[in-house]
Amino acid sequence: MKFLVGWGLLIFSFVSVELFAQTEKISEYLKMVNEGKITEVKLVLPDLLAEYPNDPGVQFLHASVLEDASKAVEIYEKIIRNFPQSEYTDQCYWRIIQYYVIKGELERAVKEFENYKKNFPTSTFITPAGDLIRTATLMAKTSPSRLKSTKKEEEQAKPKETAPPKVEQPAKKGTFGLQVGLYSTIEAAKAEAERFKAMRLRADIYTKQIDNVTMYAVVIGDYPTREKAEAEKSVVQAKCGCNPIIFQK
């Protein structure tokens, strides 16, 4: 009996070590995605999917490098459904909410947000998610067409001449960035900017006037030309799980 117990503990130890190593590996690959090394991650992804097809971390990594946002959302929803307590489920909710807001499906976004609050009430993404919902609701009431990114908005997305109190407006340079979020409060914008700074990305906050309402745009990067900013879209998209728009500084 002692032999069987000892053997069982030994097997458990091996499994625990393997799972820990696997988690560390996924974390490293996600870090590479955040650093823009998407091509390198895509090269190892087939082997990971073959070896760990049902692992939530591998599935999350897979979704993070997909260019088709709708397919990525399908994977995020699968993770939420099959692995509700996974360490990746929190971020899945946040990315799904952003996706439906960008698509203009506000009712679905609100529904996902309610589930998010219920299951992860202390998440660090609750504040920016809630503000995103409030902003989308306000924009839908004043100008429904603004829920979706348009070419016109990209061309006209410029900061105000003067910044409101408590916002240190970056100097105008005539360069370009990628807008990844638009918030109604400076607190939510700062929280989102800090998240990107933690990924070692440059993140600035600019004020914008939309239907006479002051909004706060989180803008990634500082590119010399519109073409360069356009070329970096896919990299930033993989990191934010959103659809960045060109922002002229």
Give residue 141's pLDDT. Answer: 65
pTM: 0.57
On the question of pLDDT at 169 being above 70, the answer is no
Provide DSSP, 162-208. SPPTT--PPPP-S-EEEEEEEESSHHHHHHHHHHHHTTT--EEEEEE
pLDDT number for residue 4:
41
Fold of 12-140: 1.25.40
State pLDDT tens for residues 110-154.
999 999 999 999 988 888 888 888 877 776 665 444 444 444 444
- What's the token pair of residue 208? 């914008």
pLDDT for the residue 28: 86
Which is nearest to 130 in space by CA: 165, 105, 159, 93? 93
Q: Residue 112 is inside which H or E element, if any? A: helix 106-119
CATH superfamily of 149-248: Sporulation related repeat (3.30.70.1070)
Q: What is the pLDDT of residues 41-69, one digit of tens each?
A: 889 999 989 988 889 999 999 998 888 88
* Domain boundary assignment for the chain: 12-140, 149-248
Whether the CB-CB separation of 189 and 151 falls below 8 Å is answered with no
pLDDT digit string, tens, across residues 212-240: 778 888 999 999 998 998 888 888 887 77
Across the strands, what pairs with 44?
none
